[in-house]
């Protein structure tokens, strides 16, 4: 069964937990937009546990520590795919062009070199980019 969709508030909580790796109510509470009461936040965290987005991973004093069920890298890739699909028609090139066109976010020379290296590596390993065999 696919995971239940997350509300805006649940997504905000998940973003914070992913940023920290693991978190307590105290760790999360001060970083939310218009934060709910601590009890309401605990209820939201319980909902995220029920939705199998978070797990209780221990305790710090009297507080429960929550951690994401899936790895941050997996969640990041899924989030990126969703952004590409929603805003760029699924095209990574369009997203990269939009990002590089923003003057405040333009990559520096080192980042451009790393992008070139990643593109070259992808071209050499991806079956989508391999050249068709020529006829002798």
* DSSP assignment string, 60-109: ETTEEEEEESS-HHHHHHHHHHHHHHHHHTT-HHHHHHHHHHSGGG---H
Domain residue spans of the chain:
8-68, 72-125
What is the radius of gyration, based on Cα positions, of the chain? Answer: 20
Residue recorded with tokens 């899924």:
78
Instruction: Work out the widest C-alpha separation in the chain, in whole angstroms.
Output: 74
Give residue 4's pLDDT: 66
pTM: 0.67
The model's confidence at residue 106, banded by pLDDT at 50, 70 and 90, is confident
> Considering only CA atoms, which of 27, 26, 33 is closest in space to residue 9?
33
Is it true that domain 8-68 has CATH number 1.10.10.10?
A: yes
pLDDT in tens, 58-105: 999 999 999 999 888 888 888 889 889 999 999 999 998 888 888 787
């Amino acid at each position: 069964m696919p995971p239940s969709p997350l509300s805006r508030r649940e997504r905000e909580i998940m973003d914070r937990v992913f940023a920290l790796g693991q978190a307590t109510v105290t760790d999360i509470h001060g970083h939310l937009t218009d934060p709910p009461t601590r009890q309401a936040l605990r209820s939201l965290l319980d909902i995220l546990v029920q939705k199998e987005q978070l797990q209780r991973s221990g305790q710090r004093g009297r507080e429960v520590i929550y951690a994401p069920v899936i790895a941050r890298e997996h969640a990041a890739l899924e989030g990126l795919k969703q952004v590409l699909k929603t805003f760029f028609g699924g095209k990574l090139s369009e997203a990269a062009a939009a990002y590089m066109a923003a003057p405040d976010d333009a990559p520096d020379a080192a980042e451009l070199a790393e992008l070139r290296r990643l593109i070259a590596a992808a071209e050499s390993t991806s079956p989508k980019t391999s050249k068709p065999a020529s006829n002798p």
